Structure 1
Amino acid sequence: MQEQVSDRLVGTLVDNRYAVRSKLARGGMSTVYLATDLRLERDVALKVLHPHLATDETFLDRLGREAKAAAKLSHAHVVGVLDQGNDGQTAYLVMEHIKGHTLRDVIRSKGALPPRLALALIDPVVQGLGAAHAAGLIHRDVKPENVLIADDGRIKIGDFGLARAVTTSTSTGTLIGTVGYLSPELVLGKQADTRSDIYSVGIMLYEMLTGQQPYDGEVPIQVAYKHVNETVGPPSALVPGLATEVDELVQWCTANDPENRPVDGNALLQELRHIRTNLTDAELDLIAPAAAPGGQQNPTEIIARTNNPTAVMSSFSRPQPQQSPQAPHALYPPDADYRPGEQYRPELQYRPQTQYGPDDQDAAPAAVPLSKRAQRRLDKEDEKARSRAAATPVRSLREGNPRRRGVLWVVVLVIIALLATGAGWFFGMGPGSPATIPAVANKSVAQAQQLLSEAGFQSRTNDVFDDAVPSGLVVGSDPTAGTETRKFQPVSLFVSKGPQLFELPKLTGGTLNDAKNALNKAGMALGAVTEQFDDAVAVGVVLAQDPAAAAPARHGTPVNLLVSKGPQPIPVPSVVGLEENAAVDAIEAAGLKADVTKDEVNDPKVPKGSVAVQSPATGTLTKGGTVTLTISDGPKLVDVPSFIGKQAKEAEEALRALGFEVRVHNILGGFFGTVRDQDPVKKKVPEGSVVTLTVV
């Protein structure tokens, strides 16, 4: 059944700028539309919060934090966030529109991918995550649906809807993410960091290599249970012949303990590229056995958060009511945590774990396949354990007496009591006691450190970009203000470096359309466009820009442009009838050029030496345009024949045909109609002269 495409926003204008053209997708918290930015004349993806959440200040605050956090990140493999705002009851986020398809479409159509293609597709994803991790962002919802492949081949990771700037995090009691790719620590309600994204990348790489996810279940909680209680096996179990290095890479990323994963995207990228360059062509081009294409969609799931693994198992084991699992597309994440400065630990540490199904808690443990690197590590640890056991006596050579044993027990009990007292002090009043993180935002580093010290905490600083907080002031802390934690836990202070600035492109010398494209590419906005006449520059060429080229500016900064209207038009003055020199002076004074022709014309109305004709006579010319002048030679001289003795009517017609003006003077009423006298007669006179006839 075809989806109904009608929507109340389609065909409307959001915030007097974004023309909504069609609906692209709908999730649990938002709908994504294809829109046109009328100011910059480009297509964008407009993510609109659902109406029932648009009035929720908590969600609106998250939307604002998401936009600020993601907008700081500018990377070739990350979908850019361009704008955010509210238009009445419409809360929206504007993102770069990528025309193409997703990695899910590739897996659905091809199934298992050869290692060469899988590693090539995952490389830009890891590179984009590495840039996000370096900027203090965690994605939290890495999955094939969020990997966008443009028609021109560009690969970008999108929808940082679950990403959170470490400077503005808070904790919630809800777990939001896609359950098939969710890390164990997120399922258990623990703090997330960059290694949580690495786990999701490992699951995604497993699916690309095998055509299926490592875990499945009838309901999301079953899959979540397996993430916590099982270990991802090597993909070679489903794809025989797969290189050992690829198995180890997947299992390194999907280790249950975050300490055994790559520390962040950049650490993983180095190992990924090392493996790609060291595998043979045969290993890279290995064709997997026929596998079912990965056609299932992976909606973002919302699961109640718990710190108790037993609760996860109990939730799984109890009979569940027959209902559809809640699976909205979560734009607004619970706040996750970032731990900057973690030690990079590339070693692999895998141990067999007992696997139980929901109805066979008494079943025998099942060994999980280990990689060669992990097996070598276990062998070394077993050898050390055997050495320690061999050096430890199993039986005392002297049994001792009962009194001595009694004294020994007293000493042991005293030591235990002292330890218990010390532990009570440590966790009750000492460094292990709980305390609340004070508010340190918008304070100087010294003030923030003093507040933390007074509360019993040790702190460390990390520099971050922030558009709202002035440079040198504290943006926030991790854990955030109001969080209760143990005093021995270190607190990270995030100090603002001010807004991240980018150089403005040079726009002068190009056309207005070129300037718009350059601003769009640089992520800047088009400001006011002013036009000005310029005799030397063609119409539509940019004369100046403000701010100037190479000036540092934030993304979205409007740039004002001064554009040429071409040479200024000059009205052509009328000089017909003016003496030649006066006419030339008048034309040159207007900024034009006078061209006097050699040929003169007779004109009965224009004196000799004056302008009889000009071309053009009216209209406008640009500066330096030419006006052609023709000078009058005065009236033409015509012979006046004699009509004396002839009839007046005949004489009058003949004279008018020669161009004369005729006046008739009748004597005695002109009874006979005969010309008795004529003036002038038989001489040359100017054309148009008056000839007087006396008629009797």
Structure 2
Amino acid sequence: MLNPGMILSNRYEIIELIGTGGMSEVYKAKCHVLNRYVAIKVLKPEFSSDVNFVTKFRIEAQSAAGLSHPNIVNVYDVGEDNGIYYIVMELVEGITLKEYIQEKGRLKSDEAINIAIQIAQGLEVAHQNHTIHRDIKPQNIIVSKNGGIKVTDFGIARAASSNTMTANAMGSVHYISPEQARGGFSDERSDIYSLGITMYEMVTGHVPFEGENNVAVALMHIQGEMISPREYYPDIPTSLEKIILKCTQKKAERRYLTASALIADLKRVQANPDIDCVVVPPIVPSSPTVEMTSDEMKAIKEGRQMNEPVLDEEDLEPEEHPEDTPIIPPSKFDNLFDDDDDEEDDEEELRQPEDDDDAELDELDPKLKKIIMISSIAVVVIIAILVALLISKIAGFKLFSGKKDTTDTPTTTEATESTDDTDENSDASTDDVTTSEQATIPMVNVVGLYKTAAEEELKKAGFTNYTFETKKDNDVQEGYVISQSVDEGTAVSADEEIVVTVSEGKEDKEVPDVRGYSDDQATTLLTEAGFTVTHGYEYDDTVEKNYVINQSPEAKTMQPEGSTVKIIVSNGKEVQDVPVPNLVGKTEKEAESLLSDAGLVGNPSHAYSNDVKAGKVISQEIDADSKVEEGSTIKYVISDGPETVSYTVKFTGAITNAGYDFEAAGNVSVTVSYTIGDATYKIYSGAAGEESFPLDIGGADSISGLSEDSGTFTVMITDSEGQDVTSSFNTSGLSASFTKE
């Protein structure tokens, strides 16, 4: 931890610690070169000591420094000072989105959409610059004081992904994509998955997957089914729910392919929450490789060939084995095969105590290791085959026939001449052999892929004679493959004609004529006809407000089912803005006349005023000369003159003896009066003995019709000789209370 006042690189003065995370600490600092405040993220010592990590971190942070967008926290500098590695970033005053969600419990749909659009806009720019965040989560999103959204921690996530995946290195596993959880390749769609989980938390207040440890949560991302957000809160628009579910598809190709596509749908839903614009592509196989059957898997594990009979121990001793059958020892990667018998073992292997989270996360992708090993073996086998073919060619043998090539070079002129007569036949014979021995390729499955992706798969597999045709299809989205002329797995030559059928979208339907209908009626008619409705608004002097003026495409035309029809709805007659007249000081009649001439409506009220004569306007709600719509209502206040107020006073309290000796001096004479302005009112007067005290004056009559609401008491107490003995009594308990009549 850095101390306040410390200077990094003779430039950045540390002011205070403002946050801490798994890999770093964040400080507020001042840059003395540019005289501005910045945020400095300092790597913790356990990461600073890792040379590989630091190198990767510096490269990625420098790449992130090239990103400039209002929704991305700008990176200004990357540096090192005495083993302290840091990045200098824009200082954003605010809180994390995680804290914001916790404060509110959950966010309203419109607010969640607005935040999601801003996050996606930041990702869009990053992805266009070939930068993948890899750790999108609410903790890495800042909600600034002005309501803006900023994505932070670009670069540090990529550096962390190059190390062992641990809770500290990759942050919370609750937002990780399935491919990241497996340790596989991640791209832009991984960020989109994490953003989908973040949106889920925004609208529900919690993440979709919880578990006893990180491994359990990671497994849920790989194979668990999340509960629909609307099952928790039915007020969430269906369209927003569909966006979240599309973002969080297990298969990356079924998610939004780009942040731009996600933004487009979010903006559509923002403009019209009832719109149905989200389409999830059909399931695409995770690999074109033909899957092994359970028998083939069993044969591999038992170390035998496919066609070899399974022998009991009684029939074949352990040391006996057919000479021509290779013995394949059990592989340490056997548990990677996803057959039915091993599913429970695979899950059990991943269920470990929390203390081993880091090690367990390393084991989440042993399949990647297997793929590398199998690929290496395949390369070696291919090289061996090529070498064998080359040797056989040099030796004059045909590898597949086992016979020596009889077309040796002739040794005599006669032999040469005799072979000339048969050259044509020899060529034909050679062509036949070549054709018969031509290698075949198993057909890949391209159904469900987008056209460009399908073409890429066919090229990759080696096919050269493929064509695309299109047709309408109500079930398959436009541009995606419906079918292929050659079934998956069928062995065909590379130049075999292959026809791939691509969807043109849904069948065309006739657009209803909704002109003259109300907005609600038109929307219902178009929706029931299978179209999506959007709105535009215009003023119209002849069409009533909220009724359809026009539509596009035009009525009675044929359009694809599900396409968009825009209806133009009337706002009614266009209203002009008019200036508000000055009403202050005018009589009520004059004010009404001025407002009427301006096309406005008056709404007067009354109030007392000591300054404005009764019947004149004291004030108006909207200032004079301000522009308002014609027909607007203007409030103004008319004076009723000065307010006349009268009060009533009531007396309470008692006079108590504070030391007067009645036995020695005798009875006293008491007079209590109350003065208000110029008037004095007698409240009590009479003789009083010792038994009269305390002397209660609460029974005195109240006084009404007073113009003031304050006054003073006067108390005079004398003895039998006329001497003033008031000081021997306590009169502080007397009080007067005024009420307005």
Query: What TM-score range do you get, normalising by the shorter chain?
Result: 0.3 to 0.5
- TM-score normalised by structure 2 residue count: 0.39
TM-score calculated relative to the size of structure 1: 0.41
